[in-house]
Amino acid sequence: MTNPEQADTLPARSLGALQVSAIGLGCMGLSANYGEIPDTTAGIELLRAAYERGVTFFDTAEAYGPFDNEELVGEALAPVRDSVVIATKFGFDIDPVSRERRGFNSRPDHIRQVVDASLARLGTDHIDLLYQHRADPDVPVEDVAGTVKELIAAGKVGHFGLSEVGASTIRRAHAVQPVTAVQNEYSLWARDSEAEVLPACEELGIGFVPWSPLGQGFLTGAVSTEQSFHPGDVRSWFPRFTPEARQANQPIVELVRAVAARTGATPAQVALAWLLAQEPWIVPIPGTRKLHRLDENLAAAAVALSAEDIRTLDEQTASLVVHGARGTGHEHYA
């Protein structure tokens, strides 16, 4: 494994016109969705440690918390704001008092309100990369792209992104306002984007940001078939994390472990190195709450898988049946 002291040499990659570290940090878990939340001090320390190790790309959203994660990221990165790329997201209707999520909302006026609120929470005058978090069935994506285009012209936003979308939506949005990055789930056990989304991104010069690149921990081998999850952990109700699905999906873990043993890397590093080997414009954003996991993940940038290892992972994961729908069970990229 690469020494943590060497991680300040983390290579750069391009997402469209944005240059970022080859591996970013998904910040959601510091404020939401994985059980008990770390205290603010611990979250700030981890975010600053990531920057010290070469990470310049940080991913948050108003929905994470809600709201708390943007505040955490803003406070942690304030001393280095001009040296980092902060991505955040809009797209949900969230009650500002109860913080209850009430469905989708990408109406132009709402987008403008969310951006102003996000700027305040982040403590900055601009958002480097603004994603639509989820498509709104009641608002054409052309209207969304047009609104973000106005926000870019106003200097409040630098670049436009889309999350959890298919190729046709990407093309429609890109025709109105160039899309810099698409963020979909992508990993060795979630390869849906390969059919249409990745080819569209390559054709249009759009960067791709895999969320959950470690399969929400499953691909690291750290999620046992027997363990139970905290009631606040989304894996406690995701179809792919039932005890039966975890048991049925063990061949994927065994495959990654076998490649890791051959390369001298960890399973997490193999899973991330496989993603990095797919295209030079792919930038995964693994999340963690632990410093030693951060070091492990970032060291994946120095893992060079052989052509044989990549082919083995490609072919065998493609032929394995993954049990349990990903996410809530309703996600798809058609």
Please indicate, yes or no, if residue 83 is contained in any of the structural domains: yes
Tell me what percent of the residues of the chain surpass a pLDDT of 70: 96
pLDDT of 250 higher than 70: yes
In this predicted model, what pLDDT tens digit does every residue of 266-279 receive, in sequence order? 999 999 999 999 99
**Mean pLDDT confidence for 176-180:** 98
Rg (CA), the chain: 19
CA distances from 305 to 52, 65, 209, 254, 320 (A): 26, 37, 20, 17, 21
* Residues spanned by the domain of 78: 4-221+276-303
**pLDDT grade for 7, boundaries at 50, 70 and 90:** very low
Residue 289 has pLDDT above 60, yes or no: yes
Which helix (H) or strand (E) segment is 86 a member of? strand 85-90
Is residue 9 pLDDT above 90, yes or no?
A: no
Residue 246: inside a domain: no
The span from the CA of 145 to the CA of 172, in Å, is 9
Q: Report yes or no on 236 lying in a domain.
A: no
- Say which residue, 245 or 4, is predicted with more confidence: 245
Q: Within a domain: residue 188?
A: yes
DSSP 154-173: TTSEEEEEEES--HHHHHHH
* Nearest in space to 108 (alpha carbons), one of 151, 53, 163, 46: 151
Burial class (CB in 10 A: 0-12, 13-18, 19+), 85: buried
Answer for the pair 181, 208: CB distance below 8 angstroms, yes or no.
yes
Q: How many domains does the chain have?
A: 1
Please say if the pLDDT value at position 186 is more than 70. yes
Structural domain includes residue 319: no
Parallel/antiparallel/unpaired status of strands 101-104 and 92-94: antiparallel
Q: What number is the average pLDDT over the span 249-254?
A: 97
pLDDT given at position 98: 94
Tens-digit pLDDT profile for residues 130-169: 999 999 999 999 999 999 999 999 999 999 999 999 999 9
Average pLDDT estimate for 220-245: 94
Is residue 326 over pLDDT 90? no
286 and 297 Cβ atoms separated by less than 8 Å: yes
What number is the average pLDDT over the span 1-24? 77
* Range 260-263, long-range pairs (CB < 8 A, 24+ positions): 262/309, 263/303, 263/305, 263/306, 263/309
pLDDT tens for 95-131 read 999 999 999 999 999 999 999 999 999 999 999 999 9
Residue 4's pLDDT is 36
Kindly report the CATH number assigned to the domain that includes residue 26: 3.20.20.100
What is the tens place of the pLDDT at every residue in 34-83? 989 999 999 999 999 999 999 999 999 999 999 999 999 999 999 999 99
Share of the chain above pLDDT 90, in %: 93
Please identify which of the residues 34, 64, 186, 333 carries the catalytic annotation: 64
Annotated catalytic residue 64: yes
Pairing of strands 18-21, 101-104: unpaired
End-to-end Cα separation, the chain, in angstroms:
38
- CA 8 to centroid of chain Cα atoms: 21
Residue 232 lies in a domain: no
Q: How many CA atoms lie within 13 A of 70 on its CB side?
A: 23
| 330: in domain | no
Confidence of residue 26 (pLDDT cuts 50, 70, 90): very high
- The whole-number average pLDDT for the span 242-270 is 97
When the pLDDT of each residue in the chain is averaged and rounded to a whole number, the result is 95
Is there a domain that residue 206 lies in? Answer: yes
